Chain A
Amino acid sequence: MTRDDTEETAAPAADGRPAGRWSVLFERGRQPGDGQGPTPDAAAGRGPRRPRGVAPEANRTNALHPGAWWVWALGLGTAASRTTNPLLLALLVGTAGYVVAARRTSAPWARSYGAFVKLAMAVLAIRLVFAVFLGSPIPGTHLVVTLPEVPLPDWAQGVRIGGRVTAEGLVFALYDGLKLATLLICVGAANALANPARLLKSLPGALYETGVAVVVALTFAPNLIADAQRLRSARRLRGRPDRGLRGLLHVGLPVLEGALERSVALAAAMDARGYGRTARVPSGVRRTTAVLTLGGLLGVCAGTYGLLTAEGGTYGLPVLAAGLAAALGGLWLGGRRTARTRYRPDEWGVRAWLVAGSGVAVAALMTAAASYDLAALRPGVVPLVAPALPLWPAAAVLLGLLPAFVAPIPKEAP
């Protein structure tokens, strides 16, 4: 699309549509003067214009709340757990994969997506291998192959090694494995798209210091690996073999020593920069905080116990709710002790609502579809039939693509 058509299509939108938050949402950082067409130098300075309806480039201000990504991914995961239809599952994987491809950054955590995909494939393969060698409870008539069966003693009844492998059993295992694999891929997508450090920063004030500790630990792990590599190569300089397990074991102690020294240096630096400064709060508030937190946690325990035992069904839920409320109250009061403020926290804006909402919508629609027409979502394996793509659930899954259009576009790697 050339720049000129873009202008033509963009101009009526800017004039005709009410300038509400939605029109703002779909347009890319428009300048006040843009409605009248770009001045020559402004157009030259901005380079090729993106077509209308494209999200803005990501920066610190419009960054999507990491929680929104998690809600979206968990929504897709919930949807995946409601169906075994391979076509729907493939559609879910495709949706998650497309969004990751469109909105992934070049950050180190974003590379974890590939690892999750490999893990999912491994899970699928293991599920199939088990179905082949350990048999499957699914009765089937289409024989694929008969493996030699290992004779087992009587006490191992119900366990089988080898024997008949039927197409029905394999297909059932495939559907089942695909469900697990899809769940893993959804979690992987959330991991790749949401910045873990920023997610931890969204913790309530009282838990902030724990969050910082986790962030520090997260940055320490790569340092530890780098140290181990450096010391291993230093072994080579001493004329000792630098490969093999022995080489790794020998550098273990120096690596830990180095990590310890660095932690002490970091602790000193953090102390000198005001980590752990607390505001003075009245002793009454302090005591209330302790009582609320402890009581709340006890309530949560008792409530969960009540829910899980048969006879506690009546008091379980209310006690759990009260316990949760008290614990949250305790956390909120505890937050008053820390004087710290937050620098540019991620805002839960319209885009975050849309991303999270699309995930929730997929989950809700799929759950509704499961109660309405279970057969379409769980295609039978006995007798063996080709799965059909149910139209409405498939359309619902496609809602999960919304983030690929509304989430801000990450910058190119520097």
Chain B
Amino acid sequence: MIRFEDVSVTYEGAAGPTVRGVDFEVPEGELVLLVGPSGVGKSTVLGAVSGLVPHFTGGTLRGRVTVAGRDTRTHKPRELADVVGTVGQDPLSHFVTDTVEDELAYGMESLGLAPDVMRRRVEETLDLLSLADLRDRPISTLSGGQQQRVAIGSVLTPHPSVLVLDEPTSALDPAAAEEVLAVLQRLVHDLGTTVLMAEHRLERVVQYADRLVLLPSPGAAPVLGTPAEVMAVSPVCPPVVELGRLAGWSPLPLTVRDARRRAGDLRERLAQAPGGAGPAQLRVPAQRDGAGRDGAARRDETGRKAAAERRDETGRKAAAERRREAAPQGVRPVSALARLLRRGAPDAPTESPGDRPAVVESLAVRRGRIEALRRVGLTAAPGETIALMGRNGAGKSTLLGALVGLVAPAAGSVLVGGAVPHRTAPRDLVRRVGLVPQEPRDLLYADTVAAECAAADEDAGAAAGTCRALVSELLPGIADDTHPRDLSEGQRLALALAVVLTARPPLLLLDEPTRGLDYAAKARLVTVLRGLAAEGHAIVLATHDVELAAELAHRVVILADGEVVADGPTAEVVVASPSFAPQVGKVLAPLPWLTVAQVREALS
């Protein structure tokens, strides 16, 4: 259906070809996944299928790409529109009309289909993607998952034989991602659609793929094969594959189900391993004795202690819950604080709330008539990492906005280092709290990295060179005169992080930090954030990435419809939920290991 014949693409002004020697064929009705680290040209390969590369982007394409027998050299994208449906990374920049129904019909109108055919296909597609209730809604009022479904629906209605998707689930919460993937699988199985897609979050998609095309590094020839074959050599792989490699399973398991069936002996080995009660929990480092980096024996002990604590904590929590319900409103903050102190380092002396990086009490935020947050309480201790999770639109970003004073509370109080954020001057606030927004580019104004760093030093009132030193630490080998826009997604995140850290805020907030990051960039981010937590920064991250939360967070807070529905240690909260559990947690359940790193440590 899609044929690449020795294709290489060179963009104008580039030193060498972005992709080289691409030569493969996708037969009809297959779901093929394009994998590789960021910057290897996945989007270029996808664009070549729809003809946007090179007709729209410019550059030189050598070799031949044919789709359903049509050569993309002689056919412009608009002439391929009836056989190829393309959905880009950002669904919002895909929409031409303003309501769902019109959007679904737009492609067919362009192709000149008969009105009765259009009507029938719109109705079918509304049902196929469960969009019937949203048919008259303006697109801008939909959630991320709904928008992504509308974007897919809008390219499905002309009945293309090929569907090309660039990162269809990256911006979605786990449940919405599953929804979209279920639709794709149905298309492949029931309608015989050929799907070619690129995705960073392999743990979500790899089990659906028939074949994988791996682009190992920029300009290198792609590797083709079945998912298990390719995953064995791939530099990027989901946790379940990594666990399989660690345990030496062959063929490699791709799904949690496969892995669980093999994991019997691994579970036994782990249970007998020293510290068999569970892995060393991520603990809030007690600052005073430097417990953040203690030895193996100590960690072992803490592991056991943590396990014991966990067992009786449920009981204590229930009791606390009952007390809290019985107590009048005014007493609540005290008990919340007491609970936190008990959870934190037990030997820490009582601190006043003013020393806490963040104290949020029964916070309510309204947007027009919508209550974005209701009676939310959250306290962050120094050195603690908290993951905020929940579906798109649950109020995670609003909570972060309230912590940096972008959103004024309607009721309740927010204290950041003892100051009320929305009443504090921005210049003072940056020394108490820093936020890296969902789109790190929003923070960057200057046209070179050096100018950005100089501006950051000035904004924060820090000594000249502070920011640049941070950048060199986080991002070795970035030239001073690089334009921030030319950085990759991960590099831009690191630069924004350095800018925010220049003021040394005790509280660091990150909104969806792993969106668009590959596994290597994510691993670097995890290392950096762990280091910051060990130095005593409190970190709150809003994320959909369950693997990231499992690796980093001491505590997970789940929001739903603006309310806190769960708040507790990562292992407890995450394992209890099928959609928020990380893959390793699912494979090894009921054992409490959550990440491959923990398992590796326990086995060694």
Contact = CB atoms under 8 A, between A and B. Distances in A.
B82 A274 contact: yes
Interface stretch (A95-103, A233-241, A291-299, A303-311): A233-241
A343 B105 contact: yes
Contacts of A234: 437, 442-443
A266 B102 CA distance: 16
B88 A269 contact: yes
Contacts of B406: 233, 236
Nearest to B499: A238
Interface stretch (B110-118, B265-273, B298-306, B583-591): B110-118
B452 to A, nearest CB: 10
Contact of B96 (A230, A250, A270, A343): A270
B426 A274 contact: no
Interface string B150-168: 0000110010000000000
A277 B426 contact: no
A279 B79 CA distance: 11
B109 A340 contact: yes
A222 interface: yes
A287 interface: no
Contacts of B364: none
A334 to B, nearest CB: 16
Contacts of A215: 96-98
A231 B442 contact: yes
A237 B500 contact: yes
A353 B78 CA distance: 39
Given A212-B96, A215-B98, A237 B435 contact: yes
Contacts of B355: none
Nearest to A269: B94
Contact of B56 (A59, A268, A411): A268
Contacts of A231: 442
B49 to A, nearest CB: 10
Interface centre among A197, A242, A269, A342 (most CB of B within 10 A): A269
A270 B56 CA distance: 11
Nearest to A58: B136
A275 interface: yes
A107 interface: yes
Contacts of B94: 265-266, 269
A277 B79 contact: yes
Interface centre among A60, A250, A265, A270 (most CB of B within 10 A): A270
A149 interface: no
Contact of B426 (A241, A275, A343): A241
Interface in A249-271: 250, 254, 262, 265-271
B430 interface: yes
B52 A268 contact: yes
A219 interface: yes
Contacts of A279: 112
Contacts of B81: 272-274, 277
A342 B460 contact: no
A237 B115 contact: no
B96 A341 contact: no
B86 A272 contact: yes
B96 A339 contact: no
A216 interface: yes
A341 B115 contact: yes
B178 to A, nearest CB: 25
Interface string B397-435: 000010011100000000000000000011101100011
A342 B78 contact: no
A276 interface: yes
Nearest to B101: A60
Given A262-B93, A265-B88, A237 B443 contact: yes
A280 interface: no
B106 A273 contact: yes
B108 interface: yes
Contacts of A233: 401, 406
B316 interface: no
Given A238-B499, A266-B96, A268-B56, A276 B78 contact: yes
Interface in A29-62: 59-60
A414 interface: yes
Contact of A414 (B107, B122, B137, B503): B137
Given A238-B499, A272-B80, 7 more contacts: A107-B138, A197-B98, A237-B443, A239-B460, A241-B427, A269-B96, A339-B111
23 contacts: A230-B442, A236-B426, A238-B499, A239-B427, A254-B442, A265-B93, A266-B94, A268-B77, A269-B88, A269-B94, A271-B55, A271-B77, A273-B78, A274-B82, A275-B110, A277-B79, A340-B111, A341-B115, A343-B101, A343-B105, A344-B101, A344-B118, A414-B137
Which 9 pairs show the lowest CB-CB distances between chains A and B? A274-B81, A274-B110, A343-B105, A239-B430, A339-B112, A265-B93, A234-B442, A239-B459, A269-B94
Interface of B: 50-52, 55-56, 76-82, 84, 86, 88, 90, 92-98, 101-102, 105-115, 118-119, 122, 135-138, 140, 154-155, 158, 401, 404-406, 425-427, 429-430, 434-435, 437, 442-443, 445, 455-456, 459-460, 499-500, 503
